Amino acid sequence: MVRLNDEMKETFKKITLFPVATASAGGVPNVAPIAFVMLVADDTVWLADNFMKKTLANVTENPKAAIYLWEPESKKCFQVKGDVTVKTQGPDYEKMKTMVQEKKPGLPAKSLLEMKITEVFECNPGPDAGKKLL
């Protein structure tokens, strides 16, 4: 797996809403804004499923996702891709559910999408746009 560097981790910490892209097994794309996205390790991102329909269906069929990181103040921009596992029980799921409930009581936290990072790309415009960084 790929580990985010310090610059990428700092950018991640400053973002409050993450566009998350998935695709069905047939290639139909979906992008959804997700607020409960947590970098829990240098190579692991947790996404809390509170209201997912298409995103959850897509990662069940095709366990891949991409997260767009854009931080306007620093103008840092990265695309983070990874492999997704859906969890509805176990210690990681319970920890995620507790984290969600502490931030916003009443949200369902139905499942945990655990993404292991596989690639990171530059997404700022210019000559390095689309360049694989990790």
Tens digit of each residue's pLDDT, the chain (134 residues):
799 999 999 999 999 999 999 999 999 999 999 999 999 999 999 999 999 999 999 999 999 999 999 999 989 999 999 999 999 999 999 999 999 999 999 999 999 999 999 999 999 999 999 999 99
Q: What is the pLDDT of residue 131?
A: 97
Beta-carbon contacts of 76 under 8 Å, excluding residues fewer than 6 positions away, are 7, 8, 11, 69, 70, 124
- In the chain, domain spans: 6-122
Determine contact, residues 70/15, Cβ cutoff 8 Å. yes
Q: What is the pLDDT of residue 119?
A: 98
Question: 6-122 architecture in CATH?
Answer: Roll (2.30)
Q: How far is CA 44 from the centre of its chain?
A: 9
Q: Phi first, then psi: give them for residue 94, nearest 5 degrees.
A: -65, -40
pTM over 0.85: yes
Sheet (strand 64-71) strand order: 29-34, 18-23, 64-71, 76-87, 111-122, 44-49, 37-41
Q: What is the pLDDT of residue 1?
A: 74
- Condensed to tens digits (0 to 9), the pLDDT of residues 85-118 reads 999 999 999 999 999 999 999 999 999 999 999 9
